[in-house]
């Protein structure tokens, strides 16, 4: 006996009889199987192997199922990614559309504001011209202003010149006949109508009415024309002091000008 055998921690545990028997049985069974296999092998050593061992099909089926599951999983992942991309694109398009709408509304508002400002300025300009016309008309008819009496003659000639002065500042528009826009011949025609005289509508015909007078012997109210008699391209009315009043062109409108800057070709006297 070992000198440490009396210490419990150094004693080897005793194997139970059941475990010993179990192990002996297992060992005996293994040895018997080996002996039988050896005998069978010796007996059949001379016979050729003619059968092929088939592998279980469970592994192949499992691999197929796993592959199918992987494909399905990938399809789901692709579908989720596609939906995410579509959602992102739709969100981006919605933001861009909202931004474009806001910009369009801003431009429309700015355009509307600019149009309103232009309309207001035009209204103020018309009101100012109307006030000027009223003042000039009062001055030409009442004779209350000494300056108006000196510059505007009385009677029929005064009515012609007074009307034309009341249109100062109006626009020139080819073919227009008032009340806020004129061409040269329509203004002369309308002015002479104030004196009860009906003139032709166009410059060519206006240059042939009345009595021909030389441009060196002009009187207030004479009709001036530019171009040939009967083929004139422009007309105006002489208002004295070497000046005439006409609907000049689109850039000037109705103005008073000096004959020295643009001498007339001829003149006719109707009054």
pLDDT value of residue 228: 95
CB neighbours of 89 closer than 8 A, spacing ≥ 6?
none
pLDDT value of residue 220: 96
Burial class for 200, CB neighbours closer than 10 Å (0-12, 13-18, 19+):
middle
pLDDT tens across the length of the chain (271 residues): 445 445 454 455 555 544 444 454 444 544 444 444 444 444 444 455 455 555 555 577 777 788 888 888 888 888 899 998 898 998 899 999 998 999 999 888 888 888 888 778 767 766 665 565 555 545 444 443 333 333 445 579 999 999 999 999 999 999 999 999 999 999 999 999 999 999 999 999 999 999 999 899 999 999 999 999 999 999 999 999 999 999 999 999 999 999 999 999 999 999 8
The CA-atom distances, in angstroms, between 262 and each of 42, 127, 162, 267, 268 are 143, 31, 23, 14, 17
Distance of CA 225 to the CA centre of its chain: 49
Q: Which CATH superfamily is domain 154-269 in?
A: endopeptidase domain like (from Nostoc punctiforme) (3.90.1720.10)
CB neighbours of 246 closer than 8 A, spacing ≥ 6?
184, 187, 188, 224, 234, 235, 236, 237, 254, 255, 257
pLDDT value of residue 33: 45
pLDDT value of residue 176: 97
Contact between residue 221 and residue 238 where contact means Cβ atoms under 8 Å apart? yes
pLDDT value of residue 143: 44
Full-model pTM: 0.47
> Helix count (H) and strand count (E) of the chain?
6, 8
Task: Show me where the domains of the chain are located.
Answer: 82-151, 154-269
Contact between residue 195 and residue 271 where contact means Cβ atoms under 8 Å apart? yes
Distance of CA 44 to the CA centre of its chain: 98
pLDDT value of residue 266: 97
- Backbone phi, then psi, for 212, in 5-degree steps? -70, 135
Residue 225 pairs in a beta bridge with 235, 266
Q: Count CB atoms within 10 A of the CB of residue 109.
A: 10
């Amino acid at each position: 006996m070992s000198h440490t055998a009396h210490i419990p921690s150094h004693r080897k545990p005793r194997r139970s009889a059941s475990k010993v028997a179990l192990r002996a049985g297992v060992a005996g069974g293994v040895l018997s199987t080996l002996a039988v296999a050896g005998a069978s092998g010796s007996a059949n050593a001379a016979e050729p192997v003619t059968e092929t061992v088939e592998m279980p099909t469970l592994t192949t089926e499992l691999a197929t199922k796993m592959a199918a599951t992987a494909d399905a999983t990938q399809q789901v992942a692709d579908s989720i990614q596609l939906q995410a991309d579509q959602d992102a694109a739709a969100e981006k398009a919605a933001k861009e559309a909202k931004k474009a709408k806001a910009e369009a509304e801003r431009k429309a508002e700015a355009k509307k504001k600019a149009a309103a400002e232009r309309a207001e300025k035009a209204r103020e300009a018309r009101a100012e011209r109307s006030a000027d016309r009223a003042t000039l008309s009062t001055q030409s008819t009442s004779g209350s202003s000494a300056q108006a009496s000196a510059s505007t003659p009385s009677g029929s000639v005064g009515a012609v010149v007074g009307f034309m002065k009341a249109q100062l500042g109006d626009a020139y528009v080819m073919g227009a006949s008032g009340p806020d826009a004129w061409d040269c011949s329509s203004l002369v025609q309308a002015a002479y109508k104030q004196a009860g005289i009906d003139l032709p509508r166009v410059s060519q015909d206006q240059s042939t009415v009345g009595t021909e007078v030389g441009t060196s012997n002009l009187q207030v109210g004479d009709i001036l024309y530019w171009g040939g008699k009967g083929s004139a391209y422009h007309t105006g009315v002489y208002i004295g002091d070497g000046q005439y009043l006409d609907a000049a062109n689109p850039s000037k409108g109705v103005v008073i000008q000096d004959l020295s800057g643009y001498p007339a070709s001829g003149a006719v006297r109707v009054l």
